[in-house]
Structure 1
């Protein structure tokens, strides 16, 4: 039984006493307590794959920042790894895949991932649920198939993801096959997260904005819908960064909540998505301002969403050099309004 179910009710479009609030990347580098745990380990991946420690850093922002939800500490790239394509997390640079998908024969080395392949995240959710004892809901998550595909083909981060986008043009059949494998793996993974106790699910389409609208519908939204339609037990949020052109199409996706990045027009989103809960969308850089500025910008954001079902958040993950006190200011301002 949840003692604080504000975010779940808001996601369902139900009446809430106040706007619930959490932050993407809230469990992480902004907190000294997180850095202390991380410093004892070989790196990021060891933390993701150690359930007790992943649960500990998941709970930290609930205790230290007062957020209304805990998002499980993990990474979207656990899916390709479970499928057989391993990655490294390079300090200051981000993820790197030593081997990439270039041709149809490369798929022979991959498999459909099972929940057993990702048991460390499932266990971390179970431990988190037990430790939280209903204080706040737990959010599970995965990357959208297009975003996962883009890393598996490109081999790491990119400004253009031109290799991944090239494959969509040159070999759509191969692209679909890989996207289908990712989608199937993701559905079983997210279902296992829900079974372990996740109260909500978020799908992150981090590289949505690099695709033209036609390709986004064809190679991303179609697969997001397959996942969202399969998760019927808990509310699903879709956060597609940069996909302002797809907002209206989100009406056709089986998600309860649509996340907005900080460049998206809230008034337009409200008109286009009258029956969806909206999440977001304060500019993460607003938290670099003075305390008065943080408070003023947060109030301005809340006013834009007034009268519409809303979950307060940033328009992207909180940046690692953000002062935790400014984050608290943001959270407390939301709670006070």
Structure 2
């Protein structure tokens, strides 16, 4: 049965993502409703009966949340317990929309990219010569059942939003999820990931393809549940050089963009705008523009004006891209950062979704974020 929701009152994000001219650039912030990564070690001491697998615990080793109301809603639950509780996840998704009413043009569901490795059965790092690798490749994942809590949270949130702003669903990119799976958690050196791709390239590609197929189904089910735009986070894209990116990341990003619309059509669902965020892969911007996404996220290392030159007359919208660290700065510094974006992206009436160049970071004062958002409205809304 097709779900019904109230009509969307603010469709700026969707129009901008489709490349339409808008009255002002839509604005939202990565991690606006999630923890300001990384999360708190004290989470791991709470609710021990609901501890996530080891790979997920190590992903969230230390802490910082930027909204005080987050703690009240979270209670004594650990991070992934919040993700698995649709009511709590929905509440946390809506908190920034309510606090910054009129300043944010989208909500993003409270979840985590690592729910996909969890659904694939990953608990520890794996190697190409161990039994777990073959089990993951052979596993028939019931994406609908394994991640049902995400879909329930999306549907509940759409109903609570009552058309105020669109809701974004998301997943991690195959390369980024591959890294977490073979490393067994977060890493600074990516030793196992590099060992895999340079010693075992074919095994790596089989695992990347498996992840990509799961991502397509996962995103399609998010759309079925109510997501109105979906985003693919390739957080570790910058760990690959130009040639390695073209071999081990870009083809699997392209697989998602090509096959998600087909999957939606099979499910009698309309296509939704798609965003890809290949963080750090500035060298690949020219080719990423052509792999089928509507929006390409830019990190703060990419000059907006240079990105616009690379884009040329191709119909793509950019998202970003101020340094998240500017929110620790003075109001003058924030204003300057916004001015650089507005000028670089050509004023903001077409081809730009305002954001940061990555997620909001620990210790940011919510009122400083309010100022940053207000400056975007002031400087790009004329």
- TM-score with structure 1 length normalisation? 0.93
Q: Residue in 2 aligned with 1:95?
A: none
Deviation of residue 104 (structure 1)?
5.8
Match of 1:231, SS state, is helix
Q: Residue in 2 aligned with 1:89?
A: none
Residues 133-189 of structure 1 deviation map (CA, whole Å, 9 limit, x = unaligned): 110000000000000000100111112212111111111111011111111111100
Deviation of residue 120 (structure 1)?
0.6
- More displaced stretch, 234-243 vs 99-108: 99-108
Q: Residue in 1 aligned with 2:66?
A: 30
Q: Residue in 2 aligned with 1:285?
A: 325
1:72 pairs with 2:109? yes
Match of 2:309, SS state, is helix
- The CA distance in 2 between the partners of 1:278 and 1:79, in whole Å, is 26
1:254 pairs with 2:292? yes
Confirm or deny: 8 A CA contact 1:160 1:210 kept in the other structure. Answer: no
1:297 pairs with 2:337? yes
Query: CA 1:107–1:255 in structure 2 vs 1: closer, same or farther (change >3 Å)?
Result: same
Deviation of residue 250 (structure 1)?
1.1
Confirm or deny: 8 A CA contact 2:318 2:352 kept in the other structure. Answer: yes
Residues 36-81 of structure 1 deviation map (CA, whole Å, 9 limit, x = unaligned): 222x133101001111100110011111123110000100000010
- The CA distance in 2 between the partners of 1:57 and 1:248, in whole Å, is 36
The residue correspondences of 1:169-248 to structure 2 (distance < 5 A) are: 169-232=198-261, 233-248=271-286
Please provide the CA RMSD for this pair. 1.3
- The CA distance in 2 between the partners of 1:210 and 1:152, in whole Å, is 15
Confirm or deny: 8 A CA contact 1:112 1:182 kept in the other structure. Answer: no
- The CA distance in 1 between the partners of 2:236 and 2:140, in whole Å, is 23
Residues 282-317 of structure 1 deviation map (CA, whole Å, 9 limit, x = unaligned): 111111112232223212222211255100000000
Match of 2:353, SS state, is strand
Residues 60-116 of structure 1 deviation map (CA, whole Å, 9 limit, x = unaligned): 111112311000010000001001113xxxxxxxxxxx3434426322332243122
- The CA distance in 1 between the partners of 2:227 and 2:354, in whole Å, is 19
Q: Residue in 2 aligned with 1:92?
A: none
Confirm or deny: 8 A CA contact 1:112 1:185 kept in the other structure. Answer: no
Q: Residue in 1 aligned with 2:363?
A: 321
Q: Residue in 2 aligned with 1:62?
A: 97
- The CA distance in 2 between the partners of 1:152 and 1:213, in whole Å, is 22
> Alignment length, in residue pairs?
325
- More displaced stretch, 263-272 vs 218-227: 263-272
Q: Residue in 2 aligned with 1:107?
A: 133
- The CA distance in 2 between the partners of 1:261 and 1:180, in whole Å, is 26
- More displaced stretch, 71-80 vs 303-312: 303-312
Deviation of residue 335 (structure 1)?
1.6
Confirm or deny: 8 A CA contact 1:72 1:139 kept in the other structure. Answer: yes
Q: Indicate which of 312, 316, 324 corresponds to 2:354.
A: 312
